[in-house]
Structure 1
Amino acid sequence: MTIVDGDIAWSKTNITDIKVSLDAINARLTSIEGTLATIETDVGTLQTTVDTIQANITSLIGTVAIVDSTLGQIELDIANLDAKITSLNGTVATISTTLGDIEASLDDLNAEISDISGDVVTIKTDIGTIKTTLDEIQDSINGVGATASTTLYVTSVLSAIAAVIGIIILWFLKKK
């Protein structure tokens, strides 16, 4: 088999071209590497582009991509699709793959902040690392920052009250 066109496979031989339905030869998608799809059939293995079989990601579970195509569904490691995080919007990452872009939450990607250097934040995920600025993720940080600031203020006020009470107690003890 040499060419896949929709649901038809064409085979060129020395004598003639053979045209056969992919259903008739039990074609099934077995893997995708980058933009190359591998199809197993009753008469052998063939390869075609992901565009030819209309492959697209329907969901992402961790690093496993669920891919639908004209030949059915397959589960793949997203690394096979040259996945890269291209942008962040709050806690949602846009992931660019050979099948197009898909969005996933940072929680689903097991994201962790690995470094903060000045205004640059490095975030490690199951898919890879992305660098962003504090300004770009300000909305996500505001809630955490407000909680941290409130805790610091309350702690400071309580410490000041404890110090004043301690001074008053010492003053009363010296008077006796």
Structure 2
Amino acid sequence: METIILPHLPNHPLHVCLFKDVSNAPFLRQQLLEGNTEFEYAFVDASVLLSRNQVLAACFRAINDLLQGRLKSRNVHSEIVFSLSPNNNISESFRRFGVAEASKHILAIKVGGDDASVGEHLKNNVKGSMVPFTDQQLAKMQDESRVRKVYKIDAMGKEAEAFVVGSMALKGS
């Protein structure tokens, strides 16, 4: 697990774990649907992620919206999933970016909390292999055709990342 402090939000640490080959995605999804407070995480299907920068931009926007009283979803964790989307349809955002029954690679993000207890909880409840949260690992998990379809892009790479982050930032403007 990695703890990330965003420069402008030092009081809101991000605890991030990337898992590959997850076998219990239906269980994790069910915990979210039931509103189980022990599972207040942003569980993201890693196959639609381009980069760390994309994820950190979504986290920044969600935390900033929390602090400004502008959340459009239930909590900061669901807002992270919503912030990954290029449009304002919340249910579509959860379908495209949230953990699904068939998700095999999952990024778990917790805003705040004790890093030791978060790491232990995830280790005990996510049945998969923890790997470093790097662009290289995300690239191995990426479903390029889904990414192209979700963001309506032709080319992949740094240009795609700039377009994706820009479309996330402009949403709702």
TM-score band, normalised by shorter chain: under 0.3
Which one has more relative contact order, counting CA pairs under 8 Å at least 6 apart?
A: 2
- Structure having the higher strand fraction is 1
TM-score by length of 2: 0.22
Q: Whose Rg is larger?
A: 1
TM-score by length of 1: 0.22
- Structure having the higher helix fraction is 2
